[in-house]
Amino acid sequence: MRRWRGRVCLALALALLAPAALAERVFDVGTGDAAFDDVQAAVDAAVAGDEAATIRIAAGIWRGVVDVPPGAPALRLVGAGTQHTRIVQNHYASRIDPRTGQAFGTYGSATLFVRADDFHAEHLTIANDAGPVGQAVALVVDGTRASFDDVHLLGHQDTLYLRNAGTRAWFRDCRIEGTVDYVFGAATALFERCALHSIGDGYVTAPSTPADQAHGFVFDDCTLTAAPDVSRVYLGRPWRPHGATRFENCRIDAPVPAEGWHDWGKPDNQATARFAEHGNTGPGSALDGRVAWLRDTAAAPDTATLMQDWRPFE
């Protein structure tokens, strides 16, 4: 009887351990005996396994487009630090894609495509170094529940494309650089303790939030700065009529004009755009002179409401 009980206990223990072991698939890029030579090869291998996986990317400049395809399992990209691990490409909207003979377009210019759900990245940089050549995306997010912790997103125009309505993305302790519309799209996204740095005159956000979607971009406890030669940084303009952006408890040191926001040259947007500010500080935060169509200045919704109880960092 004791021997039988021991076998049962052992079987139960192994059964409990098995899921954890299966979840611990790790792929290395650049270091280790079985390391991959580029990030996309590691992503392809992880996707083929059809189970959650972590991809550890060694220090280095990893040049090339990375695509996490639709239907991929939950993937984690973990770098060696934002100053050490850099995923970089230089495509831009008007550049001809040699595979098709057609221009890449804004969407197709991205360095990293996240087209699957439940993606996470941390401790790395994603950059588009095409320069001031028009739209040139560093990161495009198509999937939902995408989270980023200590990630730098570097570009000029259209750095971060949060494309789809109804999806959610969460950025914590990240840095985003650009010039014109460098955070844009239709998703609901929360930015916590992020640094937004304008390297040219332009607009920080260009939301295309649908009318029936309660929230767009929410920046909480972030900082806004600009390069020394930058003279005018608008907080946002509505890419679509009901675009929504909120700055909450942020430090605004960038040279934001008194009006703060722009209607994209379409006066009708003033009746529909949902722009809000609350509790901000710094020389660019003064509400005197703000556009008359600025929405409420009350506190933002709580995180549980905004992210629908999704908690990627817990």
Phi and psi of 143, rounded to 5°? -80, 170
Query: Is there a catalytic annotation at residue 181?
Result: yes
Check 158, 181, 220, 263 and give the catalytic one: 181
Q: Are 150 and 82 in contact (CB under 8 A)?
A: yes
Enumerate the H helices of 24-112 as residue ranges.
39-49, 105-108
Q: Which residues contact 311 (CB under 8 A, 6 or more apart)?
A: none
- Positions annotated as catalytic residues are 181
